[in-house]
Amino acid sequence: MCVAMPGRVLSVMDGIARVDFDGNLIEARADLVQVKEGDRVLVHAGLIIQKLSATEAEEMDAIFAELRSAADLREIMGESDENR
Amino acid sequence: MRTADLVQAIAAYDGKPLTIMEVCGTHTAAISECGIPSLLPSTIRLISGPGCPVCVTVSAYIDRLIQLATSPNTCVVSFGDVLRVKGSSGDLRSTKGARVEMVYTPFRALELAESDPYTTFVFAAVGFETTAPLYALLVEQIIARGIDNLKLLTALKTMPAVIRTLCQEDNTGGNACTADFFSTIDGFIAPGHVATVTGSALFGELAQEVGKPFAVAGFTAPSLLAAILALAGSAGRAEVYNFYPSAVTAEGNLEALAKVDRYFEPCNAAWRGLGTIPHSGLRLREAFAHLDAGSDALTADHIPAGCHCGQVIAGKCAPANCPMFGKACTPESPIGACMVSMEGACYHHYINDRR
């Protein structure tokens, strides 16, 4: 039930955003997140619950760099960046 | 890291056996659909927890919905997955004379109520922290528009207390289905869209409290694999790792949390298979209680004879260990809620042959 889909805002008027999900256009309420045209957003059951940033890959690598410094994960993943 | 590297790193895991629980029904679905269990070594086992809101809803709530839907001039408005869940005698979809409207968004209920003032509409407000902000906005709109024929029947749940309960039961063994299935939970895949609203810091505090690692994951294979790898490599450190940073911040959606807090307050909540857990739910605050359609005291839970849903939800019974799984109980003819819901553990073990 906690399904939420990422889409891109096409326009916003009176607190209602038109959001493009790969060609499917839907309307979503924008009461809880300030959005503008072009923003990538997460929509849950007709409500924008968050604006999406584009940092996933970098932050994942940062976590593993930190974990790699711990002995147990170093054994699994290798010492350096060779597994990237 | 590339997905292939994540798969390779997890396959190379040769540490102690691990049991990792996902506590989000949408994760249960994504894990099965991506075939992730088949990529794990035999030492890492994933189990599904109480993360499907429809599955954890007790029969008394469904009975109340049926009672409302068959009352004169009353219509229940609901998301689709609630309609097939059985109460003590039947479900909403097949109850003769039940008046039900299925919707994609709760806000549709506002239009229904305004277009038919002679009918009382009741929204089946089921869900976790992700969905609670929608119900808060629904209440706000009901008041702002002066609508007097739309109410909510709430069965709202929150994550922290039920996770604490699972960890406490870890120590006793609880009512494990088979001795060989049950083991201590070593870490949790934290629910990505709940964390979008609550923030990841909540799960950091919980990690400290229960002494286990949490990894917030998104709903793609790389995100889920990264979460599993981090939990495997964390050596049990009580920390939270965020693998869904595009949506999840440490503090969450503060506007959404404030809106929920304005209209709802914590309450005890009844969970299928786990009983009533203090402070594990949300109910309308007293000032808005006139918008409630009788949610109090809906705690009775009738589970069909032989159905192991209660233990499946608690992570104490693999779906395939239920004697009815795949025989008397299938997606075409479901008996338990976990086979009804498209986020249920039994449904996904059946259709994706998840081990």
Least CA distance to B13: which residue of chain A?
A76
Is residue B6 within 8 Å of residue B229, measured between CB atoms?
yes
End-to-end CA distance of chain A: 34
A1, A42, A84 ranked by CB distance to B247: nearest: A42
Q: What is the pLDDT of residues A17-75, one digit of tens each?
A: 999 998 999 999 999 999 999 999 999 999 999 999 877 767 777 788 877 766 556 56
Residue reference for tokens 């099965």: B32
A55, A61, A72 ranked by CB distance to B15: nearest: A72
d(CA B264, CA B133): 10
pLDDT of residue A72: 57
Examine the pLDDT at A78 and tell me if it is beyond 60. no
CA distance A48 to chain B (A): 10
Tokens of B142: 């009901």
Domain boundaries, position A41: 5-51
Residue A70 covered by a domain: no
d(CA B225, CA B230): 9
d(CA A8, CA B195): 21
Q: Comparing B266 with A60, which gets the higher pLDDT?
A: B266
pLDDT of residue B212: 95
Selected for mutation to probe chain B from A1, A5, A48 (highest B CB count within 10 Å) is A1
pLDDT of residue B25: 93
Give me the helices (H) in chain A, please.
Answer: 56-68, 71-77
pLDDT of residue B200: 98
From the list B5, B15, B36, the residue with the least C-alpha distance to B189 is B36
Least CA distance to A6: which residue of chain B?
B247
Selected for mutation to probe chain B from A26, A32, A39, A66 (highest B CB count within 10 Å) is A32
Question: Is A29 at the interface with chain B, CB within 8 A?
Answer: yes
Least CA distance to B260: which residue of chain A?
A32
Q: Comparing A84 with A65, which gets the higher pLDDT?
A: A65
A47, A55, A61 ranked by CB distance to B1: nearest: A61
Q: What ipTM was predicted for this assembly?
A: 0.90
A1, A44, A73 ranked by CB distance to B25: nearest: A1
Residue A22 covered by a domain: yes
From the list B298, B286, B260, B301, the residue with the least C-alpha distance to B130 is B260
Question: Is A50 at the interface with chain B, CB within 8 A?
Answer: yes
The total of structural domains in chain A comes to 1
Least CA distance to A63: which residue of chain B?
B241
Residue A57 covered by a domain: no
Q: What is the mean pLDDT of residues B112-123?
A: 98
Q: What is the pLDDT of residues B134-184, one digit of tens each?
A: 999 999 999 999 999 999 999 999 999 999 999 987 655 445 555 445 568
Residue A56 covered by a domain: no
DSSP string, B221-271: HHHHHHHHHHHHHTTT-S-EEEE-TTT--SS--HHHHHHHHHHEEEEEEEE
Residue A66 covered by a domain: no
Q: What is the pLDDT of residues B236-255, one digit of tens each?
A: 899 999 999 999 999 999 99
CA distance B46 to chain A (A): 19
Question: Is A15 at the interface with chain B, CB within 8 A?
Answer: no
Q: Comparing A55 with B132, which gets the higher pLDDT?
A: B132
CA B126 to chain centre: 9
Tokens of A71: 């002995």
Q: What percent of chain B has pLDDT over 70?
A: 96
pLDDT of residue B177: 53
From chain B, the residues in CB contact with A64 under 8 A are: 1, 226, 229-230
Residue A32 covered by a domain: yes
**Burial readout A44-67 (b: 16 or more C-beta within 10 A, e: otherwise):** bbbbbbbbbeeebeebbeebbeeb
Q: What is the pLDDT of residues B12-63, one digit of tens each?
A: 998 999 999 999 999 999 999 999 999 999 999 999 999 999 999 999 999 9
Give bridge partners of residue B154 from the DSSP assignment: B125
pLDDT of residue B169: 74
| 3-state class (DSSP) for residue B340 | helix
Within 10 angstroms of residue A81's Cβ, the number of other Cβ atoms is: 12
| 3-state class (DSSP) for residue B210 | helix
| Domains, chain B, ordered by start | 3-46+159-243 (3.40.50.11750), 54-158+252-291 (3.40.50.11740), 309-351 (no CATH)
- Work out the mean pLDDT of chain B and round it to a whole number: 93
Phi-psi region of B273 (alpha: psi -120 to 50; beta: other; left: phi over 0): left
Partner-chain contact A4 B193, CB within 8 Å: yes
End-to-end CA distance of chain B: 26
B131, B226, B241 ranked by CB distance to A45: nearest: B131
Q: What is the pLDDT of residues B267-278, one digit of tens each?
A: 999 999 899 999
CATH of the domain at A43: 2.30.30.140
Residue A47 covered by a domain: yes
Residue A34 covered by a domain: yes
